[in-house]
Structure 1
């Protein structure tokens, strides 16, 4: 329990401090006027939308399990994803969510191999979706800013993201060659970051092999054995992100702002890319400052701070509140989380 509290405290502290800094830097007389004219019905709609995202996410994991011959109720599926969202919110790059969801699926008599295929398959679908949209999102922003320097940065970033997407697809097609490439990169980087002992290096290489095998096997399973389940997963993935990306637009409507929907969606794709960097638990700090920079393109400075805080409240704090309630009061399954977070 102490480990869980420690990670939770660190995640909350970084997020709260970052949010406070953003608000203080952007606060002015216009901010007060905006707060006084907030339309609460849209804030409530944002809460309901994020609640709907839990349901859509739960339906995705339920449908994938059902396609593999294992029935899980809708309520139980929602419990699994919200419990996993709590662990994801207090671990770097949201990596804690997957082991928790796999564990809870296994408790519902889904074999570990199939549970891993479902959960890792979900993450692969999300990753491919975001990476595929990232170049288009950068193009949208380059048209708005019309800045030659930004255009160069966008071009380099697009090449980098497309490279990641290509490597991900190549890892599915040729896992053994991908392992050799990953080993080469790790051996080159390890001395630079201070990993000099053979034992430590071998441990890292074993972890790389394990992750690549899980990645390949999970995707290959659905591609070869259950393409219908894969198509269902793609459908629910599109629905999930449509609901999630609608949150920011609804928040801005509540602040009497009417931005371009396409720009709002594109901005969140870029924020998701930044949040994938495993820097802090739950991407705290990275999310607030990254969102502030990107949202500033279409949100006025007076409203920027409260917009970021409201968006983060729905996408982060709500996950903590709902996820902790499910994990500790309904599921009462904290032993695995404590073991994982040690």
Structure 2
């Protein structure tokens, strides 16, 4: 545990160091002057959008759980959403977010199958919202790159969704693959400690498939509201950088702002250290310097990274004390 905490601290410190270095690196960097000349209403709007993004995800989580006869309050849904952000922020490749939320949903009273169906519904609505938003943004950017420029990414995302769908469609195949693994003593011990004795991945996948059918087909009103929330929170997430650049009068087109954020948000899955160890900060500074050479890169980097990463992670650590670590100790 101490080694993990040290690695996480060093990784986050590396990211903070890159932010500070970028703030004073360029000869044109004058952060205090740029702040004085910035549009404070737009900065306040960027903060409001960053705060609204996890709240919209919490509303969607509550709607989906109620569609499966769950009774989560909006406050509990917000805590579960934020603890997922916290877990993702301190785990390698952001891998801890979904397991932490799955454990939190089960702890809140949902069955494991219902919790898995909720997470799958969130994934599918996020996928559709992301594809729609990127196609619209590229089509309206006026940069000469129409929607066809994003089709390779769309195909990759759709392929990942299809793979998950196939795994849920044939749970017996999944069961044959995982039964030898689950019968081993270390894995069985971990499941017993987590309170999941007798857990079968195949049976769980079958339950997730059945509950997902109820969620995505049988309760269409809840699914529609969840889809609207997904579109709104995805739009809010990608709107932070355009609002910041508008506040500082930086000439950055919408297409570049969307693609820069997309590359960093989803490229973090390839960085095997908690928080990215400065990689997202370096990528952001390099991309923004190329797209808008006159921009106050360091100041924009600090504000953008705070609003899209540190704010949610810190809030998750504050509002859900001990939840993630308690579930980790149980597993």
TM-score tier, shorter chain, comes to 0.7 to 0.9
CA distance in 2, matches of 1:39, 1:256: 8
1:13 paired to 2:13? yes
Alignment-derived partner of residue 56 in structure 1? 56
Q: In the alignment, is the contact (CA less than 8 A) between 1:19 and 1:288 conserved in 2?
A: yes
Q: In the alignment, is the contact (CA less than 8 A) between 2:138 and 2:255 conserved in 1?
A: no
2:77 counterpart SS class: helix
Unaligned ranges ≥5, structure 2: 174-183, 185-200
1:334 counterpart SS class: helix
Unaligned ranges ≥5, structure 1: 147-153, 181-198, 200-208
1:276 counterpart SS class: helix
CA distance in 2, matches of 1:278, 1:178: 31
1:281 paired to 2:274? yes
Q: In the alignment, is the contact (CA less than 8 A) between 1:49 and 1:244 conserved in 2?
A: yes
Alignment-derived partner of residue 77 in structure 1? 77
Alignment-derived partner of residue 123 in structure 2? 123
1:315 paired to 2:308? yes
1:45 paired to 2:45? yes
Alignment-derived partner of residue 222 in structure 2? 229
Q: Closer, same or farther in 2 for the Cα pair 1:14/1:227, shift >3 Å?
A: farther
CA distance in 2, matches of 1:257, 1:214: 51
Q: Closer, same or farther in 2 for the Cα pair 1:313/1:17, shift >3 Å?
A: same
**1:283 Cα deviation after fit:** 3.6
Moved more, 12-21 or 133-142: 133-142
1:95 counterpart SS class: coil
Q: In the alignment, is the contact (CA less than 8 A) between 2:22 and 2:285 conserved in 1?
A: yes
Q: In the alignment, is the contact (CA less than 8 A) between 2:130 and 2:231 conserved in 1?
A: no
TM-score calculated relative to the size of structure 1 = 0.72
CA distance in 2, matches of 1:132, 1:38: 31
Alignment-derived partner of residue 335 in structure 1? 326
**1:105 Cα deviation after fit:** 1.7
Q: Closer, same or farther in 2 for the Cα pair 1:19/1:112, shift >3 Å?
A: same
Moved more, 314-323 or 120-129: 120-129
- Number of aligned residues: 307
Q: Closer, same or farther in 2 for the Cα pair 1:71/1:140, shift >3 Å?
A: same
Alignment-derived partner of residue 246 in structure 2? 253
CA distance in 1, matches of 2:207, 2:263: 24
**1:41 Cα deviation after fit:** 4.1
Alignment-derived partner of residue 195 in structure 2? none
**1:323 Cα deviation after fit:** 1.3
CA distance in 1, matches of 2:228, 2:138: 24
Q: Closer, same or farther in 2 for the Cα pair 1:7/1:83, shift >3 Å?
A: farther
1:70 counterpart SS class: coil
CA distance in 1, matches of 2:316, 2:7: 15
Moved more, 25-34 or 80-89: 25-34
Q: Closer, same or farther in 2 for the Cα pair 1:276/1:163, shift >3 Å?
A: same
**1:52 Cα deviation after fit:** 1.3
Q: In the alignment, is the contact (CA less than 8 A) between 2:60 and 2:229 conserved in 1?
A: yes
Q: In the alignment, is the contact (CA less than 8 A) between 1:27 and 1:302 conserved in 2?
A: no
1:72 counterpart SS class: coil
CA distance in 1, matches of 2:207, 2:139: 30
Q: In the alignment, is the contact (CA less than 8 A) between 1:60 and 1:233 conserved in 2?
A: yes
CA distance in 1, matches of 2:206, 2:34: 49
TM-score calculated relative to the size of structure 2 = 0.74
**1:116 Cα deviation after fit:** 1.8
In the TM superposition, what are the counterparts of 1:193-212 in structure 2 within 5 Å?
Answer: none
CA distance in 2, matches of 1:61, 1:275: 24
**1:24 Cα deviation after fit:** 4.3
Alignment-derived partner of residue 106 in structure 1? 106
**1:161 Cα deviation after fit:** 5.2
CA distance in 2, matches of 1:67, 1:162: 30
In the TM superposition, what are the counterparts of 1:126-205 in structure 2 within 5 Å?
Answer: 126-130=126-130, 143=143, 158-159=151-152, 162-173=155-166
